Structure 1
Amino acid sequence: MRSSLRRRSRSAILATAALGLTGCTVGAGAPPLATGTNLPVVQSLHDALPQAIKDAGVLRFAGDSHPPYRTVAADGTVTGIDADFQAAIGQVLGVRTQTVVVAGLPAALQGMLSGRYDAFNGPVKATAERERQFDTITWMTTRTAYLFPVESTAGITRTEDLCGKRVAVVAASVVEDQLNKLSRFCTENKRPATQTIGVDDTDATLLATRSGRADAAGMTEAAAIDVTQRQGGTKYVTQTEAQGATKDNLALYVPKASKLGPVLQAVSEELFRDGTYVNIMSRWGPQPGFGTGAGLRRGHARLMRSTVQKGHPMGKPFLKPALVAVATALVAVTAAVVPVPSEVDAAAPAAPPAPPAPPASTVFHPVVREAAAKTGQYAAEYTVYRPADLDAVHGRLPVVVFGNGACRHISNDELLTLETLLAAHGFVVVAVGGFDEPALTENGSPQPKVITDAITWAERENDRRGSALRNKLDPRRIGVAGHSCGGLEALVAGADPRVKSVLSLDSGFFADGTLGYGRENLRNLHTPVLFADGGPNDVAYDNSGENYDLVTVPAVRATNAAAGHTGFVYGQRDGNPDPSVREEAVRVLVAWFDFTLNGNRTARGYFLGTGCGLCATPGWTVTSKNF
C-alpha cells in the first residue's frame, strides 16, 4: 500500500474554563513524559529535520487552550495530551519543544505561515483550501456534542431540541460545520434553524453558555466528556448521522513549505508502533475518536492512509490510541484478536490452545461505539463498544456486559473510558444504557435482568441475518461486570449458566440485604470472580472484602488503597486527578477477562503466583483463592 500522509484538520476540543493567554511562550522542550517514559533519539529522523530547526534546537508549536489537549495553568504551564505528545516528539527528534499559547485557530495558522511557529497540533479539520498551504497529519476523528447546564431551562433533552436555540461554537471549526448541518436538518423538518454564536475557543463557548448568551456549547464529544467529568453540573447530547453528523478526521498542521510534514509523520508512526501514543491517550482517558494510523496529506498526494469508521474510530499506524470514550478510540496496533480458546472451566480457567494467543494487553484495535440494534423487548437499551473492523479480526470475540454505578439504566457515559479501552483490547462490550442518552444524574435500584437481557441480545445478534455481529461473537466466552450498584447486578447475573467470568468493581452485597439482594446470592456463583476496590475510603471496601471471604469459587481480591470509590472510573488518587489510576484499572479489566475468558497464561500471571504482575504494582494488594 502506498504510504500516505493524510492531513485532516480537527476541530476544537473541549474546554474547561481556562485562560485566554495570547502569545505567551510556555513549557520547555523534550521534557520527560508524564508517563515517566524517556524515548531514545532516532538519529535518522533528527538528521531529516529542516536545518533551521536543527540549528535552533527547538520545535515551536502554537496552541490555544483546549482541555484535555491543552490546559493552561495560571503560571503558564501547559499540560494535557499535547504536552505529552509533543514531549515524545521532541525526545525522538532530539530537540526541545515549546508551546506558544495563541488566541484561536486563525492566529495559529497565520503564525505558522509567517514562520513564528513550526506546527499546530490541532486537532483541526483538514479542508481542501487549507491543504494548499499546509500538510496535515491525521491523529483522531470526532463526533460533535452540545453541552448545556444541568439547571438549563431551554428544554434540551435530545439533539433535535437545539432547533431554534442559540449555540456557541468555535468559529471556522469542524463543530461549526456540523452545527450548520444540524440547522439544515431542523429547517428540512419544518423547525426553526439553530442560531450560531461564533467565538474564539472552546473556553469561550462555555463562558457564553454559563452567562446565558448561548443555550448550549458545541464541541467535540471528547471535550464534552472532559467538561462533564471534571467540572460537573452539565449534560450533553450528541449529533447523529440522521441529523447531518459526519465523521471528520482531525489533524496536526505543518506549513507545506517547511518540509517538516514528512518528518513529523514518521515520528508519529514511530510513536504508534512503540505504544507511546496509546499510553498517552490512555493516561488522559480515551478520547472518542482517537486514532490508530498516521496519515499525512500533502495537497492531494497521499503518503500514508488513515481510515475512519463510524462512531469514533480511525485507522492505521500513526498514533496508537485508546475511547470511545467517546469514545472511541482507534488504535490498531496488531489488528489481531485472540483466537477462540477452549471453554473456561469454573474451577480452573483453561490454558490457551497452542500456539499461545498473544495477551490481550498487546492487542489494540480502533473502536466503534454504536447503538445496539433493537431486535426485541429488553429490560434496557444498550450501547455497543467493539473493534471497528470486524473483518480484520481472527476468530470470534468474547463479550463483556457492563452495568453502571448507581444502577443507571438510561445513560452509560460514566464508564465510557473503561468500556472503550476494554473493547480496544479485543472484547465486545455491551453496556447498559442508550447510545444517545445524555449523562443523567440517575439513581436506580438493582435489576439484574438488564445484564442477562444484554447476554440474550448478544446471542440473538450473533445469529441474526443482517447483523454486523453475525457469527462474530463467541457465546461460550461471556463475562459480566459492573461498578458500584451495577456490580451488584453483575454478581446476581453471575448465576446465569451462560456467564463464564464476573468482575465486581467497587461493589459487593450488604450483610443486611440492602438494595434487595443479600449475600446468599454469592452461593449461586459458578465462575471465577474478581473483587476490585479502592481501599478504606471506598464505601464498598468492607462489602468487597467480606464478599471475597464468603465465595467458594476461584476468586481474586485486588485493592488500590488510594483509588476510593470512583478513582478507577475517573482517574483519581486520594481524591485528586491522576489518570494513572484509571490506566491501572484498565489493565486489571483487560487482564482479568483475558485470563478467565481467553485462558491466556500471561494474563493469569497478572493475578496469581508469588510474582504476579499486579502484586508488583505499587499501591496494590492482591489475594487469591480456590484456583
Structure 2
Amino acid sequence: MNRYLLALALTAFYSKLSVSPLSIEDRQSTSTGTGPYAPAAYTQDATLTGHTIFAPKTVPAGAKLPVLLWGEGGCSADSTESAPFLIQLASQGILVIASGNPKGSGSTTAALMTAGMDWIKSKAGTGTYANVDASRIIAAGWSCGGIEAYSQFWDSRVESIGIWSSGLLTNYTMASLLTKPMFYFLGGSTDIAYANGERDYKAIPAGTPKWKGNLPVGHGGTYKQTNGGKFGIAGGYWVDWLLRGNSSASAYFTGSGAQNDGWTVEFSDLDKISVTPI
C-alpha cells in the first residue's frame, strides 16, 4: 500500500477519535503557553491556504524560530483540535504549521503537510517571516496525522519525526528503514495506536536515535488540556532540544524527567543527536 492510500486508511480508522468539546474561542483563550516566548496563539496567512500558523505573539529582536509541521488526529481539517498543545509548543520559540483551518471540515493529506513546508521555505528570512529559520524542520502528528508525518521522512528538509498516539497501520516494512531521530509519544495500552507504535519503535534499525514514552491516558492524550497537559510538557522539552538545540532539555528524555511525569520510557542512541543552539 502506498503512503497516500495508507493515510486514507488511517483517516477512516481514526476519524471519530478526535472530537473536541471546546470551541475555538475557548481553546484560544484558555491556553497561551508557558514557554519563554509566551504568549503564543494561532493565525492564518492568505498566501497559505488550508493551514494554520501557531507562533509566539511577540518575537524578541534577533531571535529565530525553527519549524514544526503538524497533522491533526483523524487527519481532521480542523487545525485547532489540539490548539492548547500546539500553542504550548509555539511558546517555546518555534513556528508551527498545522494542516487545516480553524474549525475546518473534511480531511487533510500528507501532500498538504508538504505544501506547508514548501511555503515556509519560500517565506523564511523575509518580511513577516524574517525571524523564521526554515533550515530546521520537524514533522509530527497525532493519530492519522502521525501517518502524514511519517510520509515526510523521505524529504531531506525534515530532520526528525515525532509520532504522537500513532503508528503505521499496515505498512510493516517502513519502520525498518528509518534513520532519522524518531520520537514516539503514546497513550499506553488503552491507546488504539499503542500496538502499532510499539511495533514501529522495535523495528527501527540499530543506530537510529529513538525514544518512546507511554503515558496511560489513552488515544486522546492530553492535547486539549490547558497548555496541552503532560503531552504539552514533554512536547515543550522535545522542540526545545530537537529544534532549538537546548542540550539541557535532553535530560527530560534521558534522565528522570519524563518518568517523574508518569511516562514509561525506552530509548537508544540519543547521544548521537547533536543540534547547534539557535
* CA contact 1:480–1:503 (8 Å) conserved in 2: yes
CA distance in 1, matches of 2:124, 2:191: 38
| Structure 2 residue matching 1:583: 3-state secondary structure | helix
CA distance in 2, matches of 1:463, 1:373: 18
2:62 matched to 1:388? Answer: no
CA distance in 1, matches of 2:114, 2:85: 20
- State which of 82, 106, 116 in structure 2 corresponds to 1:415: 82
Q: Structure 1 residues 554, 592: closer, same or farther in 2, change over 3 A?
A: same
For 1:591, the equivalent position in structure 2 comes to 237
* CA contact 1:449–1:493 (8 Å) conserved in 2: no
- State which of 203, 216, 223 in structure 2 corresponds to 1:569: 223
For 1:462, the equivalent position in structure 2 comes to 124
For 2:274, the equivalent position in structure 1 comes to none
Q: CA deviation at 1:439?
A: 5.2
| Structure 2 residue matching 1:604: 3-state secondary structure | helix
* AA aligned opposite 2:230: E
Q: CA deviation at 1:411?
A: 1.8
| Structure 2 residue matching 1:569: 3-state secondary structure | coil
Which has the higher relative contact order, 1 or 2, with Cα contacts under 8 A spaced 6 or more apart? Answer: 2
2:202 matched to 1:536? Answer: no
2:265 matched to 1:622? Answer: yes
Q: CA deviation at 1:463?
A: 4.7
* AA aligned opposite 1:583: G
Q: CA deviation at 1:287?
A: 4.6
Q: CA deviation at 1:452?
A: 1.6
2:172 matched to 1:519? Answer: yes
CA distance in 2, matches of 1:399, 1:589: 14
Q: CA deviation at 1:491?
A: 1.3
CA distance in 1, matches of 2:143, 2:80: 15
* CA contact 1:487–1:505 (8 Å) conserved in 2: yes
| Unaligned segments of structure 2, at least 5 residues | 1-18, 271-278
**Superposition TM-score, scaled by structure 1 size:** 0.37
* CA contact 1:501–1:593 (8 Å) conserved in 2: no
Give 1 or 2 for the bigger CA radius of gyration. Answer: 1
- State which of 112, 116, 124 in structure 2 corresponds to 1:450: 112
| Structure 2 residue matching 1:567: 3-state secondary structure | coil
| Structure 2 residue matching 1:606: 3-state secondary structure | helix
Q: CA deviation at 1:539?
A: 0.4
Q: CA deviation at 1:468?
A: 0.9
2:167 matched to 1:508? Answer: yes
For 1:288, the equivalent position in structure 2 comes to 28
| Structure 1 residue matching 2:123: 3-state secondary structure | helix
For 1:560, the equivalent position in structure 2 comes to 215
Q: CA deviation at 1:472?
A: 1.2
RMSD of the TM alignment (CA)?
A: 2.5
Q: Structure 1 residues 476, 541: closer, same or farther in 2, change over 3 A?
A: same
* CA contact 1:494–1:524 (8 Å) conserved in 2: no
Q: Structure 1 residues 371, 524: closer, same or farther in 2, change over 3 A?
A: farther
CA distance in 2, matches of 1:381, 1:494: 22
Q: CA deviation at 1:237?
A: 8.1
* CA contact 1:492–1:521 (8 Å) conserved in 2: no
- State which of 434, 437, 462 in structure 1 corresponds to 2:101: 434
CA distance in 2, matches of 1:421, 1:525: 28
CA distance in 2, matches of 1:487, 1:591: 19
| Structure 2 residue matching 1:595: 3-state secondary structure | helix
1:518-573: CA deviations, max 9, x gaps? 13333453321111111111000001111100112211000012x100032234xx
| Counterpart mapping for 1:200-239 below 5 A | 229-230=20-21
CA distance in 2, matches of 1:490, 1:399: 13
CA distance in 1, matches of 2:143, 2:181: 19
* AA aligned opposite 2:167: G
* CA contact 2:186–2:213 (8 Å) conserved in 1: yes
* CA contact 1:372–1:381 (8 Å) conserved in 2: no
1:432-464: CA deviations, max 9, x gaps? 1124xx354x4x4x7322222111111112155
- State which of 474, 482, 495 in structure 1 corresponds to 2:133: 474
Identical counterparts, % of pairs: 25
* CA contact 2:62–2:131 (8 Å) conserved in 1: no
* CA contact 1:364–1:424 (8 Å) conserved in 2: yes
1:331-364: CA deviations, max 9, x gaps? 7xxxxxxxxxxxxxxxxxxxxxxxxxxxxx5x13
* CA contact 1:406–1:485 (8 Å) conserved in 2: yes
| Counterpart mapping for 1:344-423 below 5 A | 361=35, 363-374=36-47, 381-390=50-59, 392-408=60-76, 410-423=77-90
* CA contact 2:165–2:221 (8 Å) conserved in 1: no
CA distance in 2, matches of 1:457, 1:524: 28
